[in-house]
Structure 1
Amino acid sequence: MYTRRDSFAMTPCWYRGDHQPVGRRRREEDGSILCTCRHCRKEIRSREGKTWRLAEGLDLDALAASCMSSHFSVIDAIGGMVIARYPLPEGADEDDIAAFRDRIIEKHGIAPGDDLEVRLISHEAMQGKRH
C-alpha cells in the first residue's frame, strides 16, 4: 500500500525564469558560456555571464550576431525579447556610436538596472566567430 505522499515544489527558475549557475562552466566556440542551473539542473547558457537562459531554447544573441550589419538591439532581458533594432550609420566613429546609443537610451527611457538593455551587435567582431 502506498502511504507516503511525495510533493514536488516548483523551482524558483520555473516561476521567474531566473536560472542560477552552479558547477563547472565551459565556453562554446561562439563565445557563450554553458553551465547547469542550481535549481532545475538543466543546461543553461549565457553570453555575457549575467543573464542565464535554457540552453535548448532560442538564443536571441546568437541569432542577432549572425546578421550581416552592425546594429544596436534594445532587449527585454527578463522576457528574452528584442524590442527594437537600430542599424549603425555608415562610417560612424566611436563618438557617433556613443551619441547614437545615448539617443536610443533616452528614446526608450532605459535606466541602469532596468529590465531593458541596449546591446551593440558588431558585425566585425562576429566575423571571426562564424562557422
Structure 2
Amino acid sequence: MPAYPGRKNAEGVFRSDCRHCDRPIISWDKKAWHLAEGFNLLSVYQGMEKPFLYLIDTRNDFVVARFPIDHLETEPEVEAYMEQIKADNGVNDPESSLALRDSRKRKFRRTPLKPKQPGIEAFAVPAGPPEPLDGAAPADPRDCDKLTGLPGRGTFEAVFEAECRNAREHGLPLVIAFVDPDRMDKLNRAQGLDHGDKLITLIADELASLPGCHRHLSRNRGLEFVLLLRNADADVVAKALDQIRRTVADRKEFAVEGEGPGIACGLAQIAVDGDPRLALRAADVALHRAKAEGGNRVVKGVMEAPE
C-alpha cells in the first residue's frame, strides 16, 4: 500500500514507498502495487499454464497463498477444495478480510479443467445402471418421497453399501450425516401441515445445495434426512451443516411462540478400513444427543470400538 501518491517517471511507471514496510513499490495504474525489486508476481501468474486458487487479503489486495487445481478433474472437486480452504482459513468468518479467488475467472486465465473421466465418480445401484452419487435415482420407483421427490431409505441402503465398497477400494473418505427438523409438531399445530411441508421442502433444498461435496441425499425414517458424502472430511461437513442450520433458523416465517425453526444434525466419519455400520450408529447417536441438548445444533459422533 502506497504511503503517498505515486510519482510517475518517464517510462510511465508510478513509484512510491510501502506504508507498512517502507520498501519501494511500483504500479502501472495506481491500483495494484508491487515491490520495485524482485519479481512482478502478476506477470508470473499471467505466464503460468496451470489454473489455481488464491487467498487474498482484501484490506490491502495482498495475495496470502496459492493453491494449484490442475490435479482436480471436475468442478465439484474444485468446489469441495474451495470450501475446505475457506474452512481452514476462516474465510466465512464475518470479521475476516480474506477472500478466495479463482485464477480462471481473471482476464489472464482461460485454462479449462480436464474433462471429467469415468471411474470412481460412479457407483452401481443393484436395480439399474451406474448412476452418479449426486441425485441418485431410487432403486425402486416406489421408494420415493412424494413431498420432496427424494429417494427413500431403501435406495440409501443400496447406495451406502456400494459407496462403502468403493471407499475401501479407492481409499476415499466418506461422511454419514442425519438431519432432523426441530419442533415440527408445534409448527404443524400452530400454522398447519402445509406450512410444515414448506419447511421440510426448504430444508431439503438447502441440503441438496450443500456446496463442494459429492453427495447422496435421501429421506430417512420419520422426518429425517440422511446424507452420504464422498471424499469429505467430517469437520468440514460439520461447518457446512452449521451454516445451513443458521440459514434455516433465520426463516422467521416458520417461528412458533417466538422460537425460530431449527435442525438437529449428527454426523460421523466412515473409516476406510473399518466397519461402516459403526459410523452409521455414531451419527445416529450424535443426532439423538443434538436433540436431547435442545436441538438446533450439529454434533459430531464418536466411533465406538467393536466388542
TM-score normalised by L of structure 1: 0.44
* Higher normalized contact order (CA 8 Å, seq sep 6+, divided by chain length): 1
TM-score normalised by L of structure 2: 0.24
Greater fraction strand: 1
Greater fraction helix: 2
Greater CA radius of gyration, 1 or 2? 2
